[in-house]
Amino acid sequence: MQKSLISDIKLDTPHNSIGSNTILTLNLNFNLSGLIREIFSQKNWERAYDKHDNAFRLTVILDVKVGGKSIDKIKFIRKAVLFWTRNPKLSYRVWISIIKDETPHYPLTIEEAKSLLFEVTKTIELQSNNLAMGENEIKIDIKVSWGRHIYTEPVELHAQTQTIKVNKT
């Protein structure tokens, strides 16, 4: 049986070292792949819409850790909303809008919809006072969850980035 998973996790920073009173920028990228990406199809959108299941909510919680100690929790939501369409550019009666960072997007292809919903790129800014002097090891615990729908059971996925090292001078 195929499962859903968090894949292609990358954490990096343009800074190898930072001084006091500066901001450390972290760039996090990851994808959701496997079963959820396969079953999130136009055929299933139509089945779900017919049964009044017209919203898919993806909850992401990032736990930023320095030296094993949690210093920041970031929570954000991505939504997919199904709707009846008469758009002449689309050959389907039910289509989707993706709400990402509180902005609605109207993809023109199924792959674009999957990309908007399941590919995460997040910039995280940390104050240098969250870091100790010397070398700091930073990693992020990732938790992604969604509820029950006609095409999927409730799932909670966990993953962790690799550790990156940043010097505070």
User: Which tens digits make up the pLDDT trace of 71-106?
Assistant: 999 999 999 999 998 888 888 899 999 999 999 999
- pLDDT tens-digit series, residues 92-148: 899 999 999 999 999 999 999 999 999 999 999 999 888 999 999 999 999 999 999
Looking at the predicted structure, is the pLDDT value of residue 4 above 90? yes
Mean pLDDT for the stretch of residues 58-81: 96
The confidence band for 21, taking pLDDT boundaries of 50, 70 and 90, is: confident
Domains of the chain in sequence order: 4-168 (2.60.40.10)
- pLDDT for res 35: 96
Mean pLDDT (the chain) is 94
Query: How many angstroms separate the Cα of 8 from the Cα of each of 2, 11, 28, 152?
Result: 17, 10, 10, 22
Give the separation between CA 119 and CA 30, rounded to whole angstroms: 6
Q: How confident is the model at residue 1 (pLDDT cuts 50, 70, 90)?
A: low
Residue 50 φ then ψ, to 5°? -65, -25
Model pLDDT, residue 123: 96
- Identity at 76, one-letter amino acid code: F
In this predicted structure, what is the pLDDT of residue 52?
Answer: 96
> In whole angstroms, what is the distance from residue 81 CA to residue 13 CA?
34
